Structure 1
Amino acid sequence: MMNVIKRFKKKICNRWLAFCWHYTNKAKFIMEWKKNDTVRLTCYSNKSKNNNEKIEADALSKAIVAIVKELKAGADNPTEEEILEPFKIAVAQEFGITKEEYYRRKKDGV
């Protein structure tokens, strides 16, 4: 099970970076896993006057921790899409995109 979680962490990190890159006009992101399965997400925004502005993404951090806990609890073999969908919505909402707008963009292939 720990190998599954390690693979998931790596995959979610890569997906998160790619997804945020797409939605936030190429800002720089850092994701750090802590030993107690919490995660620290930091965004260095290129939209601000000061290019080194750090934005802590607390909502996303909580979403990822919840997903990892669910995996540890042995969820009924959810698909990757089922696992990542709430996460993608949380990312979009963190950057000002509503849930409805997210689904519209997904439907339109944006």
Structure 2
Amino acid sequence: MARGSWRDSDYCQTGYLRGYDLKSHADEGSIGDNTAANALRMYCTDETNYIEGPGNMWGHWLGPSYCHDGKVICGIITLVQENQGTFTDDTALNDVRFKCCDFPA
């Protein structure tokens, strides 16, 4: 069973994706509710536009990361925690990394 709700899609008004920032909540240990990744902000190549999902209030932005030398985002890898069982806290998505490729001709 998948949890959560799909939100409206969004896109760069001009250009392509070139960077991101992840909002993440630190590990609460066994005393709290771990939420891990809570929002994602994607930066566009025009540098004046970004896309941000609604996310939630927990966590802090980790700091933007960009493709350099005219490259753009062309791939993604995710760090996802497997189901921890009935009596253990699940976090699901914990981190993302993007692959940078040459800007399309």
Q: Identify the TM-score tier after normalising by the shorter chain.
A: under 0.3
Larger helix proportion of the pair: 1
Q: Whose Rg is larger?
A: 2
TM-score by length of 2: 0.26
TM, length-normalised to structure 1:
0.25
Greater relative contact order structure (CA < 8 Å, 6+ sep): 2
